Amino acid sequence: MANTVRNNTLRTLASRNLAGRPVRTGALLAVVTILALAFFGGTMFTMNLNTGMTSMERRLGADLMVVPQNTAQKAEALLTDGNPSTFYFTKDIVAKVKQADGIAQASEQTYIASLAAECCAEKLQIIGYDPATDFVIEPWVASQFDGTLEDGQMIAGANVNVSTDGTVELYGRRWSIVAQLAATGTNLDNSVFINLNTVPEMVAASAAVSQRIMPEEYAHKAISTVLIKVAEGYDAQTVAERIKDLDPSFTQLGYVYPGGITATTKTALNALVTYLAVFVAAIWIMGVIVLLAVFASSVNERKREFASLRILGATRGMLASILLRESASIGLIGGVLGVSIASLAIFPFSTLISRQLQLPYLQASLPAVFGIMILTVLCAVVIAIVGSVIVLVRVGRPEAYLVLREGE
């Protein structure tokens, strides 16, 4: 029973000390909350960007994209996080391009930007691909759809709103969605995928309800890009030169190197992550200084309080226990508050952040998020405890009574 009384008293003493000094407790809590918020927010942000980058790298399986004249930028935007667009050349060019040396695989795709569809707040990118030759979409789709994409069917990107009956309405027609893909953090999340045979159907449907998306004569021969995987021993630039050698007019075509896009995006992303790291580090340095200052300012007050406890027979271990309970509580509460506030900003506005950044931004996996949450709270507890050590060292002097005499 005495044991229970003892434990209760020591535990209560720490919490009563916190409650009894609301200004000091509030200041410490505010600092720890800001530190946790900066750490968790910054880490999540960085992690989401890296996840988006990794995802983008995985999805861009082609080494080279050959696109129509003056459309290279549109094609790049389509790969990252730009607006949907429509561009095309004709199939006969594709056949010629495929004859160049150094090509291991080649597959064509057609890009059509829909109008603002009923199902979505923004325009959808419609991507027609050839399941027979495709080496970019299929490996990615395979994890969620193992059948063959029939004519008139669609596979939807992660952000596409699919109605409860499993369809999407485009150009006044309901298209059957056979699978919905995992998020990539790129514009592909706002895309629907159809096979190339469905493209003319889409063109006809558009003509029926609104402005035709391309002239009828192009519906069966419009191709937006030839995706090329280069053969062993070739690089993408060399293959591009070989294609240009096939026909003088091919020098006018656009050549996009997804690897280069990845590198450019990576550079932008690294710069952002560096700024972010510097910002978080600056907040932490300032926060730790403030934390130490608040703890240091309480030393004299605590010295008197702890000298009183020493006189009553408290051991140094008991004093340390009281102080650690106080600082750990502040760290825990501040850490949880920081993580909660940061979560309120990060998770509900993930899509908005992604759109504003114009960079691949993909929510990290749940275990990773929980891991960072726990790590943040742990860091908050540790930093609060480290801050309180300054008090512990200074009140731990052997002759407690001398403390009481100071200022008398």
Q: Which residues here bind other proteins, judged by CB under 8 A?
A: 1-6, 8-10, 13, 16-17, 19-21, 304-305, 307-318, 398-402, 404-405, 408
Helix axes of 366-395 and 299-312: crossing angle, nearest 10 degrees: 70
Is the CB of 10 or the CB of 272 nearer to other proteins?
Answer: 10
- When the beta carbons of 70 and 297 are compared against other proteins, the nearer one is 297
For residue 12, the minimal CB distance to other proteins (Å) is 8
Chain-centre distance of CA 28, in angstroms?
Answer: 31
Torsion of CA 93, 58, 47, 373, to 10 degrees: 140
CA 91, 92, 97, 103 torsion: positive or negative? Answer: positive
- Cα 347 from Cα 22, distance rounded (Å): 32
* Of 246 and 320, CB closest to other proteins: 320
Contacts of 401 (CB under 8 A, 6+ apart): 307, 311
Q: 3-class DSSP state for residue 193?
A: strand
Q: Which of residues 3 and 211 has its CB atom nearest to other proteins in the complex?
A: 3
Using the minimum distance from each CB to other proteins, give the nearer residue, 6 or 58. Answer: 6
Longest dimension (CA), the chain: 100
Rounded to the nearest whole angstrom, what is the least distance from the CB of residue 161 to other proteins in the complex? Answer: 56
How many C-beta atoms surround the C-beta of residue 243 within 10 A?
25
**Distance separating alpha carbons of residues 182 and 362, to the nearest angstrom:** 10
Whole-angstrom distance, CA of residue 57 vs CA of residue 76: 13
Q: How far apart are CA 160 and CA 182, in angstroms?
A: 11
- What does 116-140 look like in DSSP terms, one character per residue? S-TT-SSPPEEEEE-TTT-SSHHHH
* Tokens (6 digits) for 168: 């999407």
Nearer to other proteins, 320 or 390 (CB): 320
CB of 5 to other proteins, least distance (A): 5
For residue 197, how many other CB atoms are within 10 A of its CB?
15
In the chain, DSSP finds a helix count (H) and a strand count (E) of 13, 11
What are residue 50's phi and psi, to 5 degrees? Answer: -65, -40
**Whole-number minimum distance, CB 29 to other proteins, in Å?**
17
Query: What contacts 164, CB < 8 A, 6 or more positions away?
Result: none
CB nearer to other proteins: give 9 or 69: 9
- Can you read off the two tokens belonging to residue 198? 């469905």
CB of 408 to other proteins, least distance (A): 6
